[in-house]
Amino acid sequence: MSTLSEQIHAVLTLDPAAPAIEFEKQWTSWGELAAIMAEIGTLLDAAGLPAGSRVGVMMRNHVLAAATLLEIVASDRCIMTLNAQLPDERLAGDIAEQKVAVVIGLARDWAREPVRAAVAASGAVGIVLGGESGKKAALVEGLEKVTGSDLNCSAPGIAIEMLSSGTTGTPKRVPLKLTSFAQGIEEAGVFEGRGPGEPPRLRRGVLLVCGPFTHLSGVFNVVNCVASGRQFCLLERFSVEEWVSAVKRHQLKVAWAPPSGLRMIVDAGVPKEDLATLLTLRTGTAPVDPKLADDLYERYGLPLLQNYGATEFAGGVAGWTLADFKEFHTQKKGAVGKLNRGITARIVDPESGAEQAFGEVGLLELRSAQLGDASAWVRTSDLAVLDADNFLWIKGRHDNAIIRGGFKVQPDDVVRAMETHPAILEASVVGLPDERLGQVPAAAYVLRRNAKQPGDEELSAFLKERLLAYQVPVRFLFLEELPRTASMKVSQPDLKALFKVSACNQAT
Using one digit for the tens of pLDDT, what is the confidence trace for 61-80? Answer: 999 999 999 999 999 999 99
149 and 274 share a domain?
no
Which of 397, 412, 442 is the endpoint of a domain?
A: 397
194 close to 228: Cβ distance less than 8 angstroms: yes
Residue 190 has pLDDT above 70, yes or no: no
* 122 and 266 part of one domain: no
Q: What CATH number is attached to the domain comprising 435?
A: 3.30.300.30
SS3 155: coil
Alpha-carbon distances of 391 from 284, 366, 480, rounded to whole Å = 16, 13, 36
Examine the domain organization and report whether 412 and 449 are in the same domain. Answer: yes
Domain-embedded: residue 182: no
Asked whether residue 130 falls in the same domain as residue 198, the answer is no
Q: Is residue 472 part of a domain?
A: yes
Q: What is the CATH number of the domain that holds 375?
A: 3.40.50.12780
Residue 188 scores a pLDDT above 70: no
Query: Predicted confidence band at 281 (pLDDT cuts at 50, 70, 90)?
Result: very high
Residue that is last in its domain, among 135, 156, 177 = 177
**Residue 143: Cβ within 10 Å count:** 21
- Residue 410 counted as domain residue: yes
State yes or no: pLDDT of 192 exceeds 70.
Answer: no
Question: At residue 202, does pLDDT exceed 80?
Answer: yes
More confident residue, 485 or 281: 281
Euclidean distance between CA atoms 174 and 92, whole angstroms: 20
pLDDT tier, 196 (very low <50, low <70, confident <90, very high otherwise):
low
Residues 6+ apart with CB under 8 A from 378: 312, 365, 366, 367, 371, 372
Residue 165: per-residue pLDDT? 57
Question: Does residue 162 sit in the same domain as residue 93?
Answer: yes
Task: Dump pLDDT digits (tens) for 363-396.
Answer: 999 988 766 677 889 888 888 999 999 999 988 7
Task: Assess whether 341 and 376 both reside in one domain.
Answer: yes
Tell me what the mean pLDDT of segment 73-89 comes to.
Answer: 93
Residue 409's domain spans which residues? 401-507
Determine the pLDDT at residue 364. 92
Question: Is 280 in contact with 247 (CB distance < 8 Å)?
Answer: no
Residue 285 backbone class (left: φ over 0; alpha: ψ -120 to 50; beta: rest):
left
Same domain membership, residue 318 and residue 424 = no
Rounded to an integer, the average pLDDT of 93-112 is: 96
C-alpha closest to that of 75 among 107, 119, 43, 110: 43
Say whether pLDDT at 406 is over 80: no
* Distance in angstroms (rounded) separating the CA atoms of residues 506 and 74: 55
- Whether residue 415 sits in one domain with residue 386: no
The pLDDT of 415-419, averaged and rounded, is 93
Closest CA to 285 of 131, 165, 108, 441: 165
- Assigned domain for 184 exists: no
pLDDT at 444: 96
pLDDT for the residue numbered 372:
67
Same domain, 392 and 412: no
- What is the chain's mean pLDDT, rounded? 89
Task: Evaluate if residue 168 carries a pLDDT over 70.
Answer: no
- Relative orientation angle of helices 30-46 and 63-74, to the nearest 10 degrees: 60
pLDDT tens-place string over residues 310-345:
666 766 789 998 999 999 988 999 899 999 888 899
- The candidate with the shortest Cα–Cα distance to 432, out of 488, 501, 364, 483, is 501
Check residue 243 and give its pLDDT: 97
